[in-house]
Amino acid sequence: MRLLVVDAGNTQIKFGLFDDETLKYRWKITTAEKRTTDEFGFAILNMLHSETVEVGSIDRVAVCSVVPGIMHSLLEAIRRYLKKEPLLIGPGTKSGVKIRTANPREVGADLICDVAAAVEYYHAPCIIVDFGTVTKYEIVDTDGALMAAVFSPGIGISAEAMSSKAAQLPQIEIKKPKSIITSVTTECMQAGLVFGYIGQIKYIIEQIKQEMNLPDMCVIATGGFGKVFANEIDCLDYYDNALTLKGIRCIALKNKAPKKTDVQNE
């Protein structure tokens, strides 16, 4: 089965095309709430054509989103240009993920997809560290249930705040400098930002393991900024930047494809 999965995040929209279990192609575009149905449609067609993928070869489409403002145009683009009714992951979707938080209906679809993939491809108990616009530490217990999460400003937000709120500080590339001791302004900023963030990651993971009384919890990093830290922190056991896309696939397979009669051909 050929399945197109879509992960609509606050900064980027990621697309992945699975041939059965294999994630064969990946694309991404920036998230822009003012895109029209046609603009989304043309973007999707261009991505598929770049890899000579025929629209008619796609069997199903599944979507996970945390950006309500784009959903009308995005879903209509899928219906109009791919001729498929997409599965939208949300409340009521069969996910196989147990949620033991105080308000289960408030849990974002991206967290549910992360947990579904972590349990399927790795093991529980685990901590998922999703380095996106917001860094999310997702805590999965021994039964594979999402029981809690810790949110902190993403490193990109932190870098932007420094340059935008301090008139004499420039925009910087997010990378680890050779040393924490430096007199070059950009490296001073990078040192505080990256080394400080490394300290945060280590401390939060340590505290979670301590309070869970599970010192051997598996830690899976994902998200675009995760590559900055994947080889820098020993307590990050795995880096899987396709985790959410894999989770969307796992959930899609647990649900029937929406009926073709639901497709709108406006």
Task: List, in sequence order, the alpha helices (H) in 99-195.
Answer: 109-121, 155-165, 185-190
Encode 149-183: b = buried (16+ Cβ within 10 Å), e = exposed.
beeeebbbebbeebeeeeeebeebebebbeeeeee
What is the rounded CA–CA span in Å between residue 50 and residue 42?
Answer: 12
What is the rounded CA–CA span in Å between residue 89 and residue 94?
Answer: 9
What is the rounded CA–CA span in Å between residue 217 and residue 124?
Answer: 8
**Set 7, 38, 59, 110: catalytic member:** 110
Q: What is the DSSP string of 61-118?
A: EEEEES-GGGHHHHHHHHHHHH---PEEPSTT-----EE-SS-GGGS-HHHHHHHHHH
Q: Are 174 and 228 in contact (CB under 8 A)?
A: yes
- The two beta strands, 134-140 and 12-19, are unpaired
Q: Phi/psi at 40 (nearest 5 deg)?
A: -65, -45
Q: Are 217 and 186 in contact (CB under 8 A)?
A: no
Q: What's the one-letter identity of residue 30?
A: T
Verify whether residue 110 is a known catalytic residue.
Answer: yes
Which of 32, 133, 110 minimizes the C-alpha distance to 77? 32
Write out the catalytic residue numbers. Answer: 110
